[in-house]
Amino acid sequence: MLWLAVLLALTLPGAAAEAAAPAEIDLETAPQALKLGPRARILEVSGGEPGVRDLIAGVRSADWRPSRQETLNFSFSDSAYWLRFRFTNSGDQTRRRLIVLGMPLHDYLDIHVVDSGHVARTVSTGDRRPFDSRPLAHSDFVMELSVPAGQARDVYMRLDTHDGLYDATPLWLLEDGVFFARAQKDLLLYGVYYGVLLALLAYNLLLFASLRERPFLLYGLYLAAFFVWNFTFRGYAFQFWWPDWPTLNNQMVAIAGSLIYVALTAFTNDFLELRRSAPRMRWLLFALTAVIGLTLLPALAGMYAFTFAMLIPAGILYLVFIYAMAWVLALRGNAPARIYVLAWSVLIVGAVLYYLRVLGWLPSNFVTENALQIGSGLECVLLAFGLAHKIHSLNQRQLDAEMSNAAFHKRLSLDLEAKVRERTMDLEAANARLQEMASTDELTGLSNRRRFNERFQEEYKRRQRSRAMLCFCILDIDHFKEYNDTYGHHAGDEVLQRVATLLSHHFRRAGDQLFRLGGEEFGVLLDAEAAEQAIDRVEAVRRALVEEGIPHRRAAEGVLTASFGLICARDYAAIYSTGRAYQEADDALYEAKSMGRNCLVFRLFDGGLDETGSRQAGQGLRT
């Protein structure tokens, strides 16, 4: 246990400050997040205590003492405690802050805001009052404080309990942004934490319903009890489940806390097979569980301080005993006990830290406040793993026999499946190659006419649905027959390949699609948002082909050229089918041929803005 002592030593507080707390807190210069514990002045009262107006008037003014704690912790006490703060504002505009008491289970909290000796506002809330008594609907207690420029406000806070049980009370002064950032972080962290618990709970209950193995049910009951206790302890149950029943909220902390031990005992007994492996220790465990169960009775009668004064030492004794018992069984070679020890090594540290914080022997900090969350999260996962391992071990012999009997048949089946899968993959690859060959022009590598018919129909429907512009161009190489007659068919094939390469270079957008429609004719589906953009792109290809300078003695220009017919349509009433669209582009192409070739003729269908035009040798013409 040396490592546990070291960890406990690391969480001990430093020396308390002896100096008196500062008299004032200036909101103009105060940091965004300020711990109010060290800045408070404290008055302990019991019996006939003075009211807030008596305190304002100076009654018992000599009894106020400076706080020596960053997180206020009064542990078990029959007294009530007054806290006093003075907030000023040296700035030139009103300053607003949030006073946050970060303990959801604090019984009674009365806050009085005093302006120039008069009580300007009073908030009476607490865990023993309905949830809607809180100024802000939050699991913690949050109150807004505004101080006008050049003024001051005194805040008197009275802390009291139902029967003398105080929880550690972290007290903060926060700007709105800091508070909401922390609130969102807490929601995220606890959302993940509770999500893990509920997922493990559902998983184990489903396994029980499927396998009918009792350990899964017992572990599920343990998880359910722990979830309800933690959800209540953190204030979320009061906020979301029973906001109008403060008594039930307080009782559930004790009830769920006791049920945790009962469910844990049942699970441990089954998981470690205590009836067989440790019968004497089993009865001692039952006796400790019965003592813990008896502590629930005073809680039901409203005696919470007595309940937790008994439950805390009994709980520590229980955890130490169950931990030692698991170690004994693990050293005897009990495989489930080894996993159990590992899981509880984490949780016991967290539980001990938590109980010592409640007793006031340790301060409240991130480690002690979240020790149960950190430890229990790891413990739940490890125990779930151990439970699965145990069930696996119990069924292993039967599974081994069945697997040995089925191994030969399985190997045959796997071999057959592998051969079938290999053959299927070969056939699929061959079919894919055939499909690719059937839809690709062998000479140019572009999609062929068959693929064009499929893709043109798909693109037409898609763009019609989205009211996008359809841009389609047909180009035909000028005097290609004469080129073949002059230079030979091999040279003609090379020209077709060069034209395909040129098109691929210019039409590289994601939405561009190229096709060889047949012979020397090519088709292009363009990705363009406007007709002018499509015209410019096609015209660039026409010029680039001329600049290629492919010799053609029988052409007027002396080089190879092409004619282009382009349509840009958004009016699908005019271009009512793919056949109509193709016909318009083809008509534009032949118009380009009739105009002397080496030019672009375009047609625009855009509602009432239908237009026809041409471009030739870099010149634009519209009619």
Residue of 175, 369, 459, 520 marked active site? 520
Alpha helices in 212-302 (DSSP H): 214-233, 236-240, 246-271, 274-277, 279-294, 296-300
43-82 in b/e form (b: 16+ CB < 10 A) is: bebeeebeebeebbeeeeeeebeebbbbbbbbebbebbbb
**Type of residue at 55:** L
Sheet of 141-147, strand order: 33-35, 171-174, 95-101, 141-147
The DSSP annotation for 407-437 comes to HHHHHHHHHHHHHHHHHHHHHHHHHHHHHHH
Helices 335-358 and 304-331 cross at an angle (nearest 10°) of 150
CA distances from 3 to 8, 9, 346, 374 (A): 9, 10, 12, 17
520 is catalytic: yes
Chain centroid to Cα 211, Å, comes to 32
φ and ψ at 575, to 5 degrees?
-100, 80
Cα–Cα distance measured from residue 71 to residue 360, given in angstroms and rounded to the nearest whole number: 11
455-467 in b/e form (b: 16+ CB < 10 A) is: bbeebbeebeeee
Pairing of strands 152-160, 108-115: antiparallel
Q: Please provide the distance, in angstroms rounded to a whole number, between the alpha carbons at the two ends of the chain.
A: 96
Specify the residue for token string 């001692």: 284
Two tokens, residue 232: 């209540």
At CB < 8 A and 24+ separation, what contacts does 191-200 make? 193/373, 193/377, 194/227, 194/230, 194/231, 196/377, 196/380, 196/381, 197/223, 197/226, 197/227, 197/230, 197/377, 197/380, 198/227, 200/380, 200/381, 200/384
Cα–Cα distance measured from residue 331 to residue 336, given in angstroms and rounded to the nearest whole number: 11
Q: CA nearest 601: which of 572, 618, 583, 622? A: 622
191 burial level (CB within 10 Å; 0-12, 13-18, 19+): exposed
Q: CA nearest 561: which of 588, 592, 586? A: 592
Cα–Cα distance measured from residue 597 to residue 618, given in angstroms and rounded to the nearest whole number: 13
Q: Could you tell me where the beta strands, DSSP code E, fall in 390-520?
A: 470-477, 513-518
Cα–Cα distance measured from residue 264 to residue 293, given in angstroms and rounded to the nearest whole number: 12
**Type of residue at 19:** A
Is the CB of residue 106 less than 8 Å from the CB of residue 96? no
**Type of residue at 576:** Y
Cα–Cα distance measured from residue 344 to residue 323, given in angstroms and rounded to the nearest whole number: 7
SS (H, E, C) 171-222: EEEECHHHHHHHHHHHHHHHHHHHHHHHHHHHHHHHHHHHHCCHHHHHHHHH
How big is the chain, counted in residues?
A: 623
Catalytic residues: 520
